[in-house]
Amino acid sequence: MSSPQIQSHGCNNSLDQPLSTLPSWKIKLLYDGQCPLCLREVNFLKKRDAGRGLVAFVDIAADDYNPQADGGVDYETAMGRIHAVLPDGTLVKNVEVFHRIYEILGMGWVYAATSLPVIGAIADFLYGIWADWRLFLTGRPDLATIVRERSSRLACKTQSRCRLMDEDD
């Protein structure tokens, strides 16, 4: 019914790395910095983190977002559903992201019920509805338009110059 929420990518497992190369954060949250509701949640989580560095926050809307550094999650995929990366490279998505972050920040009770199979499946289903409607509800264009505009903007940045398209082009 619901897809697995945790995926491991590559050989980036903590047993393969010396302890000194493991990051200090416990989870890396990939968030949309252009979404006002996402920013509200991120600001709340940053306050709860209180400078401890338990959560690394990565704005996928930033022009320098690098999927390879962030679990291999490309921009379009990250915009479709929330993702997080664990220090060993494990990828987490959907409601499991919130469950893990709140647990790490000492507020695990908020999402504890989502650990139960039926409640977790319902929560993921409802989150999927929210994720599908998030852009519309926050007054933004659809995902295809956002991806196309981003690609055009980034292409212009890598070229020496860009020209504006007029109505005849």
Q: Domain map of the chain by residue range?
A: 6-158
Whose tokens are 């929330």? That residue is 82
Percent above pLDDT 70 for the chain: 82
Q: What is the DSSP string of 2-36?
A: ---SEEE-TT--GGGS-GGGS-S-SEEEEE-TT-H
Q: Give 12-24 pLDDT, tens digit per residue.
A: 444 445 555 778 9
How many residues in the chain?
Answer: 169
pTM of the model: 0.81
Radius of gyration of the CA atoms of the chain, in A:
18
Whose tokens are 């009770």? That residue is 109
pLDDT at position 10: 41
pLDDT at position 8: 43
Q: Give 76-114 pLDDT, tens digit per residue.
A: 999 999 999 999 999 999 999 999 999 999 999 999 999
